[in-house]
Each structure stands twice: as C-alpha cells, then as structure tokens.
Amino acid sequence: MSSKYETNFNKDLVLVLAEFWCSETNTFVFDWGEATITMEDVMLLGGFSVLGKQVTRPINGVLMETVEEMEKKKTELTRTPAKKAYHFNWMTHFMKLQDYKHEHVAFLFLWLARFVFPSLPEESLGKHVFPIAVLLSQGTRVALAPAVLAGLFRDLSFLKNQAFKSEEIISVSSPFQLLQLWALERFQGVLKSPPKRLNPCEPRAARWNNVNRLVSLM
C-alpha cells in the first residue's frame, strides 16, 4: 500500500543525514544524542513484514521452474531493440499477454525491483528478486523488513565512507524514500507545512504524499 504514494526524492536531505551516520553503531550521531531508523519504522512506513521466510531462502521443485521461466522472459527482453530489461518494457510486455499463468509473479517481481530491492543502473531488473516474487505469489510470508533495513544501513555506511571523500559519482540502490519518511516523521520542524491527515485505513506513508518537496534545510 505504501508504494501507491509519491515520495519525491530529496537528495540533500539524505546527504545531510548521511553526514551524521556512524557505521560502527548503525546510528545517526547528532549533537543532542543518537537516533536511527528501526525495523518498526520500516514495517510501519514501508508496510514490509518483519516475520516470515528469509529473503535468501533457497527454493526448489515447481517454484524453481517458475523462477527459471521468468528468467527466460527477462532474457527475451534483452533481445529487443532496447537490449535491456527495464521496468517499463517488462510492464508493457506482460500487459500484451492474455491470461499469462505467471502474471502475478511478474507483477510482484516488478514491485520488488522498483520499491523494495532496486538495482543499479536505475530501473534495471535484478534477477535476485525472482525467488522472493515466487514465494510471495504462493502466499508465503517473507521477512522483507530485515533485508530492507540491512540494505539501508549498508548504503548509508557507503555514502558516509565514500561520497564525501570522492569526486566521482556515487550510486546506491536502497529505497531511501523510507529514510526520508523516517526523517519527516521525526524532524517535522524542517517542514514548511504540516503533514496530511490520515483517512481511515490509509498507511502511514499517506501522511507524506508529496509533502517532502516542502522540506526546508535552511
């Protein structure tokens, strides 16, 4: 549900936070104390489960056959004029198919690749999420939150150690929109306007739909 809402990326906000990051403790060390994004934050803001199978859990049998079939579909897209499997051509490819038996897997794969475990270069499709998509399509609960949080910690450490020491372009792939939402929840003093009111049954992320564009760091 949270992925339905627009979070316009605010690079300056993320970089300011990264300056305070401590890799040894996985916390932001501010003048007034320490704070950090937690598993609970990832669960509430992203809607990701903290319980379930590990994302690295191996699969086999019929489920593995489905993974292999989806990998073939991805390979087919690399033979098109675009020569790459990106979000757009993956989506348009399956929209043209009628009653494809693994349509749900294809959708979950795109969702995972776009909002949960993005890959580099931007909008590329990493085959490492195929097994997760297959498990989710079978109704298996997968613990996405721990893996998402670990990725954020990893890339924050990378930004802290590399981005401020190098003149080269630095790319990271974690869903930093979650870190933005965390910052907006915790530091509402940087907002030029208050968050939106939540309607019944709306996820926490709905409060910040397009609101982050109104952040002031001055």
Mean pLDDT (the chain, rounded): 87
Give 146's pLDDT tier (boundaries 50, 70, 90): very high
Residue that terminates a domain, selected from 82, 104, 137:
137
Q: Is residue 21 part of a domain?
A: yes
Using alpha carbons, list the distances in angstroms from residue 53 to 49, 131, 132, 165, 177. Answer: 10, 11, 9, 38, 24
Q: Domain residues for 110?
A: 61-137
The residue that leads in pLDDT, 98 or 40, is 40
Q: Is residue 208 part of a domain?
A: yes
> How high is the pLDDT of residue 218?
44
Looking at the structure, tell me whether residues 65 and 130 fall in a common domain. yes
Angstrom distances, CA of residue 64 to CA of 71, 84, 107: 10, 23, 17
Distance CA 180, CA 23 (A): 19
**pTM of whole model > 0.85?**
yes
Q: In 3-state terms, the chain is what percent helix, strand and coil (to 5)?
A: 50, 5, 40
Q: Say if 145 falls within a structural domain.
A: no
Q: Give yes or no for residue 153 having a pLDDT over 60.
A: yes
201 Cβ neighbours under 8 A, 6+ residues apart: none
Could you give the angle at which helices 61-77 and 87-95 cross, rounded to 10 degrees? Answer: 110
The SS3 call for residue 6 is coil
Confidence of residue 99 (pLDDT cuts 50, 70, 90): confident
Q: Edge to edge, what strands does the sheet with 27-30 contain?
A: 21-22, 27-30, 33-35
Question: Has residue 146 been placed in a domain?
Answer: no
Number of domains in the chain: 2
Domain assignment present for residue 203? The answer is yes
Instruction: Decide if 83 is inside a domain.
Output: yes
Asked whether residue 131 falls in the same domain as residue 190, the answer is no
